[in-house]
Chains A and B, each alone.
Chain A
């Protein structure tokens, strides 16, 4: 039983990280119907920014987190501006291929500058390294920080999307960009804002992963990016609550597979579940079925 709770805690921390990445995927998909393959790499850049800010500039955890979020925000907006905006009226496949191109560009530009090797984060101040035991279950303080930061950011995001004017604009654009434009909404700015928010979350996820797993490399964004996307599809892509549910389910599933001793299969299991979901209910757990009209 303790074992189970232990794994649930681990799964929740992993799920929180996937959730932060998945939210960016799902928001971008919701608004311009693009699988932003470069999103996982924005997360990677976040991890490296955090690394350099902690090791080279000797800044604290919170400052590094904020700096990484800021730089990723700018990066996300820049990517959208340079690579995706010129393609606003192109076919979906064209944009998807561009996203793959941007992803390669980020990965290998980073590799060019920092090398392909794995780097580890500098040791953390005492509090973050600690852990405590509740009824036989070891909880690391870092796990609480991850879950705490993620939940805070998600609540903040939900507030922005639901309660503010720009959030309303985002929802309007995702429903019907043309109609939103007619209502006087600046669609381009709203899309930029979506990229900004999603990238900020990814940047935060990057720093959290760097601190938690203590190892980062230029290709680290690939797998978590794909899995976060799986999570987004799992819950119903384009839906923020769906991404959350999906991310926690993928996190728990993966931890469960590892805990039962099949850690080599964990990527395979996640993708197998993805394919099953796509076949049974392509719109995801919370998605609605939309018929294509001629």
Chain B
């Protein structure tokens, strides 16, 4: 590839432009609170979806418990910032929440990753349910009523930094040696083991990293929406995240980003008809699996190369 600009420079410029344009629009008042809420939802969903994609799409480990990690992050951040309302406590809280989620991911991941496919799915689902039941019953989480009055520390700048940072970190992680191990395991676990990849360690790592970013997204959630309760992080939330990943394509980070935006728009559009929204979600899942099981982008990525490829000659097949 003989471009005049190094590709990282294009990325940095594109990201900065996005940030500045939106920042200018917010300052100018062109983006009101209502639109901003949708954008926050989109960004949080992007982090959740890319981190779940790391586990399910890239490593091939089916997890139905991502909302559990999110809950841990959300509650940690909320409890810390409610006690010490400062920006440093917020940053520390988000980080701590993500770390605790990662530790839980490790504890859950290590034993349950001996399971495969359906069994793992059901074990992760059970894990998320247990977290939810514990949150419902602990004294300090205020049970089913949840926590309210959480200081809002997330503005567009933090949101952007965390979202872009998470996606970049996850995508760079996938290009590293441990990251490539994960893809090898998805393709064929036995073959991967036979060439010396420690499958259990790699899968646990995927769970830990995925859980970390899941927790981080939860922290952002509670630091923006003032209010959290255990039922927000139930089975349906996990499914919500899974739908984004599946729609975008298992194994495509850019797919997850696009799907997160698309679904947020659909659900904003349908928010007066909550049942309709879920019916459409259900239909999307079934129709996509029947007609395009690889999702919108499959395991391809939308990148600078794609744009270059659109202009000349014919479409290149997947390698």
Query: Do A268 and B119 have beta carbons less than 8 Å apart?
Result: no
Contact of B112 among A102, A264, A279 (CB under 8 A): A279
Which B residues are CB-close (under 8 A) to A106?
282
Q: Name the distance in Å between A226's Cβ and chain B's nearest Cβ.
A: 7
Query: Do B285 and A107 have beta carbons less than 8 Å apart?
Result: no
Given the interface pairs A96-B62, A274-B123, A279-B114, the reply to whether A112 lies near B282 with Cβ below 8 Å is no
Task: Determine if B293 is an interface residue (Cβ-Cβ < 8 Å).
Answer: yes
Query: Do A271 and B126 have beta carbons less than 8 Å apart?
Result: yes
Query: Do A265 and B122 have beta carbons less than 8 Å apart?
Result: no
Given the interface pairs A105-B283, A268-B134, the reply to whether A226 lies near B125 with Cβ below 8 Å is yes
Most central of B112, B125, B242 by chain A CB within 10 Å: B125
Provide the bound-state CA to CA distance between A91 and B115, in Å: 17
Contact of B290 among A33, A86, A92, A112 (CB under 8 A): A86
Query: Do A93 and B134 have beta carbons less than 8 Å apart?
Result: no
Provide the bound-state CA to CA distance between A265 and B230, in Å: 14
Q: Look across to chain A and name the residue whose beta carbon is closest to the beta carbon of B250.
A: A93
Which residues in chain B, 108-155, are within 8 Å of chain A measured between CB atoms? 111-112, 114-115, 117-119, 121-123, 125-127, 129-130, 133-134, 136-137
Provide the bound-state CA to CA distance between A149 and B235, in Å: 31
Q: Name the distance in Å between B203's Cβ and chain A's nearest Cβ.
A: 15
Which A residues are CB-close (under 8 A) to B282?
101-108
Query: Do A105 and B279 have beta carbons less than 8 Å apart?
Result: yes
Query: Do B286 and A83 have beta carbons less than 8 Å apart?
Result: yes
Task: Determine if B25 is an interface residue (Cβ-Cβ < 8 Å).
Answer: no
Contact of B129 among A97, A101, A108, A271 (CB under 8 A): A271
Task: Determine if B161 is an interface residue (Cβ-Cβ < 8 Å).
Answer: no
Which A residues are CB-close (under 8 A) to B284?
101
Given the interface pairs A100-B242, A112-B275, A272-B130, the reply to whether A83 lies near B290 with Cβ below 8 Å is yes
Q: Name the distance in Å between A130's Cβ and chain B's nearest Cβ.
A: 35
Task: Determine if B264 is an interface residue (Cβ-Cβ < 8 Å).
Answer: no
Task: Determine if A256 is an interface residue (Cβ-Cβ < 8 Å).
Answer: no
Given the interface pairs A98-B289, A100-B239, A275-B123, the reply to whether A93 lies near B283 with Cβ below 8 Å is no
Query: Do B118 and A92 have beta carbons less than 8 Å apart?
Result: yes
Which A residues are CB-close (under 8 A) to B129?
226, 267-268, 271
Provide the bound-state CA to CA distance between A229 and B286, in Å: 21
Number of A-B residue pairs, CB cutoff 8 Å, is 125
Query: Do A93 and B117 have beta carbons less than 8 Å apart?
Result: yes
Query: Do B136 and A264 have beta carbons less than 8 Å apart?
Result: yes
Which B residues are CB-close (under 8 A) to A95?
289
Contact of B286 among A101, A107, A233, A278 (CB under 8 A): A101
Task: Determine if B246 is an interface residue (Cβ-Cβ < 8 Å).
Answer: yes
Which residues in chain A, 196-242, are within 8 Å of chain B measured between CB atoms? 222, 226, 229-230, 233
Which B residues are CB-close (under 8 A) to A105?
279, 282-283, 286
Q: Mark A106-118, 1 if CB is under 8 A from B, else 0.
A: 1111011000100
Which A residues are CB-close (under 8 A) to B122?
35, 229-230, 233, 274, 278
Given the interface pairs A87-B289, A264-B137, A282-B114, the reply to whether A35 lies near B283 with Cβ below 8 Å is no
The 3 closest A-B pairs by CB, nearest first: A101-B285, A268-B133, A105-B282
Interface residue ranges, B against A (CB under 8 Å) = 56, 62, 111-112, 114-115, 117-119, 121-123, 125-127, 129-130, 133-134, 136-137, 190, 235, 239, 242, 246, 250, 275-279, 281-286, 289-290, 293
Interface residue ranges, A against B (CB under 8 Å) = 29, 33, 35, 83, 86-87, 90-98, 100-109, 111-112, 116, 222, 226, 229-230, 233, 264-265, 267-268, 271-272, 274-275, 278-279, 282, 292, 294
Given contacts A101-B282, A105-B282, A279-B112, 19 further A-B contacts (CB under 8 A): A87-B290, A91-B293, A94-B289, A97-B246, A97-B285, A97-B289, A101-B285, A105-B283, A107-B282, A108-B276, A109-B275, A226-B129, A271-B129, A272-B126, A272-B130, A275-B123, A275-B127, A278-B119, A279-B114
User: Could you write out 27 A-B pairs with CB less than 8 Å apart?
Assistant: A35-B122, A83-B286, A83-B290, A86-B290, A87-B289, A87-B290, A87-B293, A91-B293, A93-B62, A93-B117, A94-B293, A97-B242, A97-B285, A98-B285, A102-B282, A105-B283, A108-B275, A109-B275, A111-B275, A116-B275, A226-B235, A233-B122, A264-B136, A267-B133, A274-B126, A279-B115, A282-B114
